[in-house]
Amino acid sequence: MWLVTLSTSTLAQETTPQRFHYQKPLMGTKFQIILYSTDGKKAQQAAEEAFQIAQQIENACSDYSPSSGLSILMRPPATQEISPLLAQVLKQALHIAQQTKGSYDPTLGGHSINWRRAKTRNTLPSAEAIAHAQKTSGWENLTLTSTATTHTITKKFPTMQLDLGGIAKGYAADQMLTVLQKHGLPIATIAAGGDVRLGDPPPGKKGWNVGLKTLATDTRQRVTVSNCAVSTSGDIHQFIEIGGTRYSHIVDPSTGLGLTRRTSATIIAPTATRADALATASCVNPSIHTYIEQQRATHSFVITISPKGTTTQIISSHFPKIKHILN
């Protein structure tokens, strides 16, 4: 069954909010909802609607499904009308690309394709493949034009490849929480891979305990937060080793190759859409920490390890207190 429900009570009405847990595979990972409600039927209905929204976003933004809105957009012609949903995701993606000066870039789909092949073949992409991906990418070469009724994308290169993997899960988590809130269920959290969107704190708690998956190996870490998003990106689990060199799944746009500098970046932001994209951007370019410090309620925690083993840690001055738990 696609939806699993775990709760301390199955009664339709309770005087005290009960904890419910739902999960479903989406976007190549496991999406989970934890919420508190006094009404089990209401909780399940809201969770089902939230998952439906996430499925619609996957249908629009997947670059694996040939029938998705994004896959259709990546084919000729250069100018196409797109759905309002895909337009909203691309609008935010292009905005963050501009703000980060391309450290996050949704037009690097050609590099993503190269690295999926590299992982399968265990060999680096050819110089020709890298050059083609670089030539046909660049967020400045993608233009979104919207009116009251239509949304049109113009690609400078008709076969430009796009990849929304660094923002779509975060966007989905935001929309899912909105659905739960509309159902009168603000005490909730959405986990989507490395992205967590948090609503009001659980009953009697100051916030939600969120584990941080960083390059710090001596301790487990967590923060207690609410009404925000926490996203972590890096090569802790996704990497390949070729010729004795470790390459991240995150591509450096300047080289077309996976990062060889090990990095983990955790971003806390008002929305999971921003946290998701900024986590990727921080891996590519840790120096955008200065930009992040200037953003409202946005904080970063970045750890890098150079190929020679030098560790550098950058943390925002107002990053929430991190609790360290010995392994």
What gap in Å lies between CA 192 and CA 163, rounded to an integer?
17
- Burial-class residue 171 by CB neighbours within 10 Å (0-12, 13-18, 19+): buried
* Whole-number percent of the chain with pLDDT over 90: 75
Residue 1 confidence (pLDDT): 35
Residue 249 confidence (pLDDT): 87
Residue 53, pLDDT above cutoff 70: yes
What gap in Å lies between CA 96 and CA 227, rounded to an integer?
21
Confidence of residue 10 (pLDDT cuts 50, 70, 90): very low
For 173-197, how does the pLDDT look when each residue is reduced to its tens digit (9 = 90+)?
A: 999 999 999 999 999 999 998 899 9
Residue 35, SS3 per DSSP? strand
pTM of the model: 0.93
What gap in Å lies between CA 97 and CA 19, rounded to an integer?
38
Residue 33's DSSP bridge partners are: 22, 190
Tokens 């009251």: give the residue.
148
Give the number of C-alpha atoms closer than 13 A to the C-alpha of residue 243, restricted to the C-beta side: 6
Strands (E), the chain: 6-7, 18-26, 29-37, 79-81, 142-146, 151-155, 188-192, 195-198, 208-212, 219-225, 228-234, 239-242, 245-248, 251-252, 257-258, 262-269, 299-305, 311-315, 323-326
CA dihedral of 209, 211, 216, 217, whole degrees rounded to 10: 110
- Burial-class residue 66 by CB neighbours within 10 Å (0-12, 13-18, 19+): exposed
What gap in Å lies between CA 311 and CA 166, rounded to an integer?
25
Q: What is the mean pLDDT of the chain?
A: 92
Cα torsion 228, 323, 29, 108: sign: positive
For 224-281, how does the pLDDT look when each residue is reduced to its tens digit (9 = 90+)?
A: 999 999 999 988 878 889 999 999 989 888 899 999 999 999 999 999 999 999 999 9
Range in 3-12, 149-158, 213-222 the model is least confident about: 3-12
Domains of the chain and any CATH numbers: 1-63+165-195 (3.10.520.10), 69-155 (1.10.3980.10), 206-327 (3.10.520.10)
Give the number of C-alpha atoms closer than 13 A to the C-alpha of residue 302, restricted to the C-beta side: 25
For 74-113, how does the pLDDT look when each residue is reduced to its tens digit (9 = 90+)?
A: 999 999 999 999 999 999 999 999 999 999 999 999 999 9
Chain length of the chain: 327
Amino acid identity, residue 19? R
Residue 164, pLDDT above cutoff 50: yes
Confidence of residue 306 (pLDDT cuts 50, 70, 90): confident
